[in-house]
Amino acid sequence: MALNRQSMMSALLVTLCLGSALGVIYSSHVCREFYAALQELEAQRWASQEQYSRLLLEHSTLASPHRVLGLAEDQLQMHAPNVESTRVVTR
């Protein structure tokens, strides 16, 4: 009987050991997956920053006061209002 109990015990231990081994395999797999996701996100962040700086460059070129002023004056024939064409509205 003692032998039987012993073998049951060792069977249990072997099972636990195997289970933990499988657990390690699983968790390292998950870890790898997460790491892949992290790298994906970091790449995305980098790409977004790249795009941001490209857009910023475009924005600063298109919206530079120099260009806006030129467009307003030349194409749209606009000008800053002089005193004669200004009226003050009091609330």
Partner 1 sequence: MSRRPSSAPKFAAWRFWVVSLLLLTLCSLLIGRLVLIQAIDKDHGSEFLKKQGAMRAVRLAEIPAYRGLITDRRGEPLAVSTPVVSLWANPAHLTDSGRLDELAAALNISVGDLRKRLALYGDKQFMYLARHQTPDQARRVLDLKIAGVRSEREYRRFYPAGEVVSQVIGLTNVDGQGIAGLEKAFDEWLLGHPGKKRYLKDLHGDAVRDIGVVTEARPGKELALSIDLRLQYLQHRELQRAMVETGAEAGAAVTIDAWTGEILAMTNHPVFNPNSRAGFDYAATRNRVVTDAFEPGSTIKPLTLVAALESGKFTIDTLIDTSPGRIRVGRKVLPDPSNYGEISVSRIIEKSSQVGVTKIAQAIGHEPVLDVYRRFGLGVSSGIGFPGERAGIVPNRERWSDIEKVTLAFGYGLTATPLQIAHAYTVFANKGLRIPLTLLKRSPEQTVDGERVVSEATASEVLTVLGRVTGEHGTAKRARVDGFSVGGKTGTVHKVGAGGYIDDQYLALFVGIAPMDNPRYVTAIVVDQPKGDAYGGGAAAAPIYSRITNGVLRLRNAVPAIEAPTETRLVALGGGQ
Q: Which residues bind partner 1 (CB under 8 A)?
A: 32, 35, 38-39, 46, 49-50, 52-53, 56-57, 59-60, 64-66, 69, 80-83, 85-89
What span, in angstroms and rounded, lies between the C-alpha atoms of 88 and 91? 10
User: Residue 7 or residue 46: which is nearer to partner 1 going by CB?
Assistant: 46
**Which tokens is 14 given?**
């072997």
Min CB(51)–partner 1 separation in Å: 10
What is 7-46 written as a DSSP string? HHHHHHHHHHHHHHHHHHHHHHHHHHHHHHHHHHHHHHHH
Min CB(54)–partner 1 separation in Å: 8
User: Residue 4 or residue 85: which is nearer to partner 1 going by CB?
Assistant: 85
What span, in angstroms and rounded, lies between the C-alpha atoms of 22 and 27? 9
User: Residue 1 or residue 84: which is nearer to partner 1 going by CB?
Assistant: 84
